[in-house]
Amino acid sequence: MAKAYFNQLFEAKEGAHEPGLSIIQPRVANKDNERLLAPITKEELHKALLQMHSDKSPGYFLSSLNDTNICLIPKCENPNNMKDLRPISMCNVVYKMVVQLLANKLRGCLSKRVSEEQSAFVVGRSILENALIAIEIIHARKRKTRGNKGELTLKINISKAYDRVDWTFLRVLVNSDRVGPIQPGRGLRQRDPLSPYLFILVAGHITEANHIMEILRLYAEASGQEINMNKSEVFFSRNTSRPAQEDLSRITGIHHVLGTGTYLGLPSMVGRSKKETFTYIKDCVWKRINSWRGRPLSKAGKE
């Protein structure tokens, strides 16, 4: 079951990339391009190696470098299907060093090439900026009660975003037994220093178009991503008529919500009950404090 699920998840699908990519203008300057393509120096190798965790095994550098085992970690207490399991790859430290080298090269030019609206994964920007903007937008929509022109806010969810960006070879590890191999055509490793940069380079340009649904279609075709309509939401201002709300929800295929839920881990709207809205912060702090009791133990003591 695990093999079949990940075969389908990581399978590269044919897409019409050209219509979307044709509207993207080159944004990398010749100077930056020369730096990115320059041979890797010993100093860069040394810097990347020192950025590795001290407990990582040096391993070896062979053709099997991209042959990666995946351990499935439950997302919830009682997982019922494969979607409730998070794939964690166990990569060799040499592989991670190469990735760190590429990430260091890309980091220097990202801020100049990635739109200012993309606040995550770029040095000098904070993902909380977009979260605060989203809260202000929802608040403004909620307070808008007058005028003939209604307004709406779309919350778009990307289905398995990282898993739909291409890379090479992996295996699945289930209960210490290898299941596979799986030959994927897409996917990025989460918490990989290079993955966020590759992801925002894929996702960062097409949002400048005027028609929302056409943007989403072009974005999906050009990037290989998939919009998860079941988790996407639309929030209307109060002066938007009920028939208009129903028509827009039907046309977009996105269900109407009242502004609740979360965006980037924060509540999209704060109501009168601040205690109820931010209870999760207390729960997170409590879980973090409880985890401290195991820190004085050695690695052997934690086994």
Most confident listed range (1-15, 45-59, 118-132): 118-132
Confidence of residue 168 (pLDDT cuts 50, 70, 90): very low
Average pLDDT over residues 209-225: 66
Average pLDDT over residues 212-230: 71
Q: What is the reported pLDDT for 76? A: 80
* Domain residue extents for the chain: 2-302
> Could you tell me the pTM of the whole model?
0.40
Strands, sheet with 152-155, edge to edge from the N-terminal-most edge strand: 152-155, 233-236, 255-256
Q: What is the reported pLDDT for 182? A: 47
Pairing mode of beta strands 255-256, 170-174: unpaired
Q: What is the reported pLDDT for 259? A: 59
Q: What is the reported pLDDT for 174? A: 40
Q: State pLDDT tens for residues 9-63.
A: 656 555 555 555 555 666 677 777 777 778 888 887 777 777 766 666 555 555 5
CA–CA separation, 253 and 248 (whole Å): 8
Q: What is the reported pLDDT for 238? A: 74
Alpha helices in 144-260 (DSSP H): 195-203, 212-223, 242-252
CB within 8 Å of 82: residues ≥ 6 apart: 1, 2, 5, 6
Q: State pLDDT tens for residues 226-260.
A: 777 777 777 777 777 777 777 777 767 777 776 55
Two tokens at 175? 């209960």
For the chain, the average pLDDT equals 67
Q: State pLDDT tens for residues 56-102.
A: 655 555 556 666 777 788 888 788 877 788 777 777 777 777 777 77
Q: What is the reported pLDDT for 144? A: 75
Q: What is the reported pLDDT for 158? A: 66
Average pLDDT over residues 207-218: 59
pLDDT cut 90: percent of the chain above it: 0
